[in-house]
Structure 1
Amino acid sequence: MPHQGNGSDERKRPFLIGVAGGTASGKSTVCEKIIESVVQSSDASPGEKCEICSISQESFYRRLSEKESLRAQKGQFNFDHPDAFDFNLMENCLQSILSGKETKIPKYDFFLNQRIENEYLTVLPSDVVIVEGILVFYMSSIYKLFDLKLFVDTDADTRLSRRVLRDTEERGRDLEHVLHQYTTLVKPAFEEFCLPSKKVADMIIPRGADNTVAIELVSRHVQRQPSPASSWNAASPSDSGSQRSSPFNRSRSNSVSIIR
């Protein structure tokens, strides 16, 4: 859930981080660990408070028709397919966030498989915003907005076991339903749509949040970023992901870093 900032009127152009990876790969935990590390370092440095928050691509699942809702209840709707997302809304919200505006994003109900009407999450202007999801790198118009792109690489058996626990305990689904959905929809969608997006990542993180070296490297990099005000003056939202003062941008090549 987005962390709230101090409510200042100064427009902030945040450093935008994308975190992709397969279902239950540990993306959310990686985001939590990055935030925890950045906040702890920020607290230890008076006058250098960093406002950081994270949002999930799951907020941008599109509205389902009545027929699609019935299929979803039976585990027959593919929520891991690009067609399940409202990428236009997602891009518009990210552009708003990059413009330093207070931005409302939808809330999603996993039990009803629908957006919650008239309820939103509010993202306040922040120094750093992390966006995580299985297909955050699928659309080039979206992944080009990110200043840093991370791919959480976790083996399939681990992801499956985590998904079973999550969906049965947190989302009220039965085991047979979860396994059938995984083999017929989730796994094929991962191989066709999510895995290929790995090639656009700046850093690949094996083992997810257990990879403390990678978490620390990302945290240090985030803390080296220029102030939001200087970033805002340097470029407009349409320039995001291009010429930004950043050690990663200056040293980036066609290869990616794999932090083991």
Structure 2
Amino acid sequence: MPRSPEECWFLNERERMIATQRLVLKGGADENEKTEVHHVKRAVMNITNYFCAFGFFFINITVQGISLFMPTILRDLGWTATKAQLYSVPPYVCACLIAIAIAFASDKTNRRGVYLAVFTLPAIAGFSIMRWATDPNVRYGGIFLITIGAFPGGPGFLAWAANNAAGPAVRSVSTAYVVTLGTAGGILATWTYTSADAPRYPIGHTINLVGQCCVCILAIFGICYCKWENKQRDMGRRDHRLVGKTAAQIKDLGYRHPEFRYMH
């Protein structure tokens, strides 16, 4: 894999130049800039990192929990261990195809939050089925809703955080920071489905149901915040950040530059 547009062997010289300049214009700095202390501080103070990190946290409770315990959950529907293992494959296949489709559509439309919010609805419906339905076939259908609704969320929140964290040094710190906070959800996931809760696992399904509701709320909040902040910049209320600064300092503002617009 090429490390930068300058090294993309499948692009011609003109395309590499355009891709490189596009990143500089969008990010506000050289893609190879050195990470310094103020970049770390700026990443930590970026509010968009937090709704993305906590969204990723709640997504991870579901993704890690289902990944670890799906065969156990299916076996406790009354199926044999072998059947449970085999039937755990189709939900992942569906989740993979849906995740790719959402990623493609999200990039094409230049939107993140709306897809993250909308696709919590199948996951919420799936956990509601798992929590209260009794028919094994109906509950198996709930597994499909859970995987297609929750699994695309992790990449979505990580991409959203990276899109709203310019320049390059701040983006690199932000990505690591969001991943660090978000993957803590995997720790909680190991305690959501316990043997004492079998075979219905009401506590585990309820935790995940609430978590998906939180993901929806965070995604909607992120959309509203990004739109509000973009409107403030359109009205010139962030122009004071340019006063008294040198050209180099203005270039280093990254996502705080008045001309930068958040993806929502």
Q: Name the TM tier (shorter chain).
A: under 0.3
> Which has more radius of gyration?
2
Structure with greater helix share of residues = 2
TM value normalised by structure 2? 0.26
Structure with greater strand share of residues = 1
TM value normalised by structure 1? 0.27
